[in-house]
Structure 1
Amino acid sequence: MSSKSHQQGGFTLVEILVSITIIAILIAILIPAVQHVRESARRITCADRMKQVGLAMHNYHSSFNQLPSVMGGTTASAVDGPSPTLTCNRNYLGGLVALLPMLEQQALWDQIVAGGPLEEDTLGNMVTPSMGPAPWIGQFKPWATDVAFLRCPSDPASSDLSSPAYGESGTSRSNYAFCMGDTILLVHSGGRNEAGFYDTDGIEPSDLSTSALAGVKTRTRKNRNDIAQLARSTNRGLFWARHRTSFRDCTDGLSNTIAMSEIATHLGNNEIIDTAIFDQGTQMLTQPNFCEQAIDPNRPTHWGAGFSEGNQSFDAEKKGTRWCDGRLLYTAFQTILPPGSVTCFSLRDASHGLSSATSRHVEGVSTLFADGSVRYITTSIDAGNSAAAPVLGAQPSPYGIWGALGTRGSGEIVQNY
């Protein structure tokens, strides 16, 4: 009888190990690629939403022959007495509120115009007048409404809709902010107080010491000519808080002037791109990079231990957390430090401050120009000398191409960015 040899089936151990190794390598290559594709899609959506806001801005200008007011609304009416927080919005409403009808949000706009009752019994079932209460009162339903077109998909933060006592939270977020130029002095208020009159807000132009900063916010009803002149020379951006501007003011050209950019909203991880620090005094007014000393030298993307969120930030004052608030911390920025830089304030959110454009994208921010185009500006853009003092009037910006793009009429020639 002849015998037949039988060949064993299956894989050897070496073959299995090689196969596993190849699969692991493929996964290691593919996962980052998939994540990159997803982020690219999110960034495109983010830019598209910003472009829609830009189109709304142009439609608004066509209708009213002016740009939406950054910090406007109903004014405070008394020098002293009870806080008008629930009876008016104290001239703090942001420009995004005015754009709602142009962004197919007519129903939300109608609610704001109508005013109405607050949601929380802790405030005594107050009824607010037209245009609502102060923008930090989350019990006013429109302020707590999430508006999808104001959010960049790359930002994972969600709106904190909890409502602690007095409503100093519970408002919704925005990743899109208006450009206020390349200076700090009087940019936080435009030079006008809550009653709409030119006033110092406690700061004398001839005395920028820390002690001068201690003055309370005033609601006097008398203009100061020196403050009006100073504010006119320091507010160099396309938008000017508590003032009207239009495209005709943009003598540098619409395609060379930034209208809006991105801000990363607060996550609570002590990152410099989304966490503001406060009580930094007045040195930043003449040395914009002053607050950078608080960055952790071992982790340059985070604040150092001495400037942690716990002792430097306020519970209700988080970057990008109030879509309806026009102040620097919430829906505005300056082109002083390059994208991805710090945000800090001399006192709190209503004081002199420096707000930087930031995002969750890779090394850059989507930026809307006044002509309606959206371009991606990298963090490596020329930003000049961050230690230089801001300039006044129509002088060229000391902050390089980034600073020049943020001014509306300084006469710089901008190219190659």
Structure 2
Amino acid sequence: MSQLPRSPYRPRGFTLVELLVVIAIIGVLVGLLLPAVQAAREAARRMSCSNNFKQIGLGIHNYHSAYNKMPKHGTGPQAVRAIGSNWPQERDFQHERLSAQVGLLPFVEQQALWEQISNPLIVTSGGTTETYPAWGAVPWGVVAQTNNYSTDWTPCFTDVNTFRCPSDPGFGLPLGGRSNYGVCYGDAIDYMSFGPYTNWARNVRADAEYNASARGCFGIYTQTAFRDVLDGLSNTICMGENNTDLGDEHITTSPRHGGNVENNPTNCSGQIEVSRPTFWRTSPHNNNFVETKRGSCWAGVTMGWTMCNTILPPNREVCSTGQNTAGGGTWTVSSRHQGGAHVLMADGAVRFITDSIEAGDSKVGPVSFGQSGVRAPGSASPYGLWGSLGTRASKEVIDEEF
């Protein structure tokens, strides 16, 4: 009996084993690809952050070309009436509490916002019309929504893209008008939160103490010029990057009180959670006061909002001398980028400083009035390369790459 010839047709398809192998290969490829995509996105965000800083640097140079000075940190009209001896009574007199970034607005393509701030502003909200004077309300009275200040003075709440890092996810209340960049006031703590004033009046003692510590490119309530940067514009940090607070008690955004931090900048390190070294294990002294949160308002002069120093290396803890954690302290630079943070040099260059930069002895107090040895006024920074980059005229020799 003869057999029928075999059909040339063969069924096509995958076996179960072949299908599982293909799925596994695809899974491996996706697993390899996703980190690369994330890294590419972060690289793009980091470049955008650097470009923002370059824009700010160009604005500072254009400002200096116009006025032969850098913008004043702590600007605005002076108070004529005050509560007690310190604080202005009315929003009409916000007493030099505006940051250098306000003065930079026309030089970073924000002329419209500058016009709002520098002129009287009429705001209607909820059927109520209110007229604000030029320069507006006290920034932290608006942002913190405390006292009797209306929260309708919109300039403080305006987000300026040039002042924001794309890698920082912080957005909206309770902070208003967030800022990721702050002026650098050097390697000091003493007198850096209120400048050469005692009860809003200058005197010889305050001037002496302030001048002994004010070694940075910027000061508070005072103006510097490029001619004051004797160490060289390319060797001096002008501004630094900082994170904005996310409400998660991160060590770079929610300061703790360090007691004797002006003599030992690491005094807050014992409050860090050992198992999660980028978060605190303790509660803040004043959790409801927004003034204590980092990056709260680009228009305000407050320490944590728009200022930084070069004592602790990048991305270390922020530690304050004030009981309400809003005073002087170690307000170092920080970022959501991996491994470091950007700084703007006085010549307009943007550099990325790694967390591992040589930073001397962090347990030594900074240079200040009445001190001796390595802390005597005029001494080289005790904080190594990092500290020397923050001083403008201490004659340190920068002979290392950074």
Q: Tell me the TM-score normalised to structure 2 length.
A: 0.89
Superposition RMSD in Å: 2.0
Relative distance call for 1:296 and 1:349 in structure 2 (3 A) is: closer
Give 1:139 shift. 2.4
1:321 aligns with 2:296: yes
Relative distance call for 1:186 and 1:109 in structure 2 (3 A) is: same
**2:245 matched to which residue of 1?**
266
CA contact (8 A) 1:327 1:349 kept: no
Amino acid at match of 2:22: S
For 1:67 and 1:350, locate their aligned partners in 2 and report how far apart those are by CA, in whole Å: 25
Give the match's secondary structure for 1:178: strand
Give the match's secondary structure for 1:45: helix
Give 1:400 shift. 1.1
Which piece of structure 1 moves more, 113-122 or 394-403? 113-122
**2:353 matched to which residue of 1?**
377
1:101 aligns with 2:103: no
1:183 aligns with 2:188: yes
CA contact (8 A) 1:115 1:129 kept: yes
Which piece of structure 1 moves more, 84-93 or 100-109? 84-93
**1:158 matched to which residue of 2?**
171
For 1:319 and 1:266, locate their aligned partners in 2 and report how far apart those are by CA, in whole Å: 5
Aligned residue pairs: how many?
377
Amino acid at match of 2:67: F
1:227 aligns with 2:206: yes
Give 1:105 shift. 1.0
- Write the mapping of 1:117-132 to structure 2, written as runs, cut at 5 A: 117=122, 126-132=130-136
**2:365 matched to which residue of 1?**
389
- Percent pairwise identity: 39
Q: Flag structure 1 segments of 5+ consecutive residues without an equivalent.
A: 161-168, 193-198, 200-217
Give 1:80 shift. 3.8
Give the match's secondary structure for 1:274: coil
Give the match's secondary structure for 2:270: helix
**1:58 matched to which residue of 2?**
61
Which one has a bigger Cα radius of gyration? 2
**1:74 matched to which residue of 2?**
77
CA contact (8 A) 2:83 2:89 kept: no
For 2:18 and 2:80, locate their aligned partners in 1 and report how far apart those are by CA, in whole Å: 82
Relative distance call for 1:185 and 1:35 in structure 2 (3 A) is: same
CA contact (8 A) 2:80 2:93 kept: no
**2:14 matched to which residue of 1?**
11
Relative distance call for 1:243 and 1:111 in structure 2 (3 A) is: same
CA contact (8 A) 2:74 2:97 kept: yes
**1:357 matched to which residue of 2?**
333
For 1:335 and 1:83, locate their aligned partners in 2 and report how far apart those are by CA, in whole Å: 31
1:111 alignment partner, one of 109, 116, 131: 116
Relative distance call for 1:118 and 1:384 in structure 2 (3 A) is: farther
**2:147 matched to which residue of 1?**
none
**1:348 matched to which residue of 2?**
324
Amino acid at match of 2:391: T
Give the match's secondary structure for 2:266: helix
Amino acid at match of 1:145: T
For 1:97 and 1:243, locate their aligned partners in 2 and report how far apart those are by CA, in whole Å: 15
For 1:354 and 1:300, locate their aligned partners in 2 and report how far apart those are by CA, in whole Å: 17
Q: Flag structure 2 segments of 5+ consecutive residues without an equivalent.
A: 143-150, 369-376
Give the match's secondary structure for 1:288: coil
**1:39 matched to which residue of 2?**
42
Give the match's secondary structure for 2:268: helix
For 1:119 and 1:399, locate their aligned partners in 2 and report how far apart those are by CA, in whole Å: 51
Runs of 4+ aligned structure 1 residues displaced above 4 Å come to: 118-122
Which piece of structure 1 moves more, 266-275 or 15-24? 266-275
**1:142 matched to which residue of 2?**
155
**1:303 matched to which residue of 2?**
280
Give 1:275 shift. 2.0
CA contact (8 A) 1:266 1:320 kept: yes
**1:205 matched to which residue of 2?**
none
For 2:163 and 2:224, locate their aligned partners in 1 and report how far apart those are by CA, in whole Å: 22
For 2:349 and 2:247, locate their aligned partners in 1 and report how far apart those are by CA, in whole Å: 32
Which piece of structure 1 moves more, 391-400 or 327-336? 391-400
